[in-house]
Amino acid sequence: MAKTSSFDISTGVDLQEVDNAVNQTRKEVSTRYDFRGTDCKVDFDRGGGTILLDADDEYRLKAMLQILKERLVRRGVPVKNLDEGNSEEGTMGRARQRIGLKQGIDQDTGRTISKAIRDQSFKKVQVQIQGDELRVIAPSRDTLQEVIAFLKGEDFGVELQFGNYR
């Protein structure tokens, strides 16, 4: 029987780095001049994988979101994996926004990635959806390298991570 090689495709964010970025954002918001005297908060729900921004108005909310994104990029967290919800207007002109963190590839994105690989008609490549990750199997490691190069050039709305290469 011929030996096959495989690798896994997954996505996710390091929650500790997100926590560090949120703490840095809190610190900058508390010291910045344009946020003095305001009641702006950044909360991180580690269990639910969400970040809640709460600001006095829409302008400060957008500024806080920009600060958060800068801190996340500096800490190596992919900003593509943020699921930004719509900003909500509360009482007294307050603005709130909930940001979800994508952990794992959802079924629709998995099907899209699988279809994209099949449409490229790589030689004897199989794709299996296994929960929140995908496994790509081929008899040739060179073919797997071509698949990885193809996927890096495409945009599926999440930051893809390739691992478990054997």
Residues 122/103, Cβ–Cβ less than 8 Å: no
Same domain flag for 19 and 38: yes
Residue 71, domain CATH: 3.30.70.990
Same domain flag for 67 and 137: no
Task: Give Cα 45 distance to the centre of its chain.
Answer: 16
Nearest partner of 18 among 57, 72, 70, judged by Cα = 72
Same domain flag for 84 and 120: no
Nearest partner of 35 among 9, 13, 56, judged by Cα = 56
**H or E stretch including 9?**
strand 5-10
Same domain flag for 43 and 27: yes
| pLDDT, tens digit, 9 for 90 and up, residues 31-78 | 999 888 888 999 999 999 999 999 999 999 999 999 999 999 999 999
Residue 1 pLDDT greater than 50, yes or no: no
Same domain flag for 23 and 96: yes
Range of the domain at 110: 5-11+105-163
Same domain flag for 22 and 95: yes
Q: What amino acid occupies position 123?
A: K
- pLDDT given at position 78: 92
Same domain flag for 26 and 58: yes
Same domain flag for 90 and 109: no
Nearest partner of 102 among 138, 78, 126, judged by Cα = 78
The token pair at 45 is: 């729900």
**H or E stretch including 58?**
helix 58-74
Residue 2 pLDDT greater than 70, yes or no: no
Sole residue written with tokens 């495409």? 154
Residue that terminates a domain, selected from 101, 116, 132: 101
pTM recorded for the entire structure:
0.84
Residue that terminates a domain, selected from 52, 82, 101: 101
DSSP assigned state of 166:
-
Residue 157, domain CATH: 3.30.70.860
| pLDDT, tens digit, 9 for 90 and up, residues 138-163 | 998 888 999 999 999 999 888 999 98
Residue that terminates a domain, selected from 101, 116, 140: 101
| pLDDT, tens digit, 9 for 90 and up, residues 81-111 | 999 888 888 888 899 999 999 998 989 999 9
Count of domains in the chain?
2
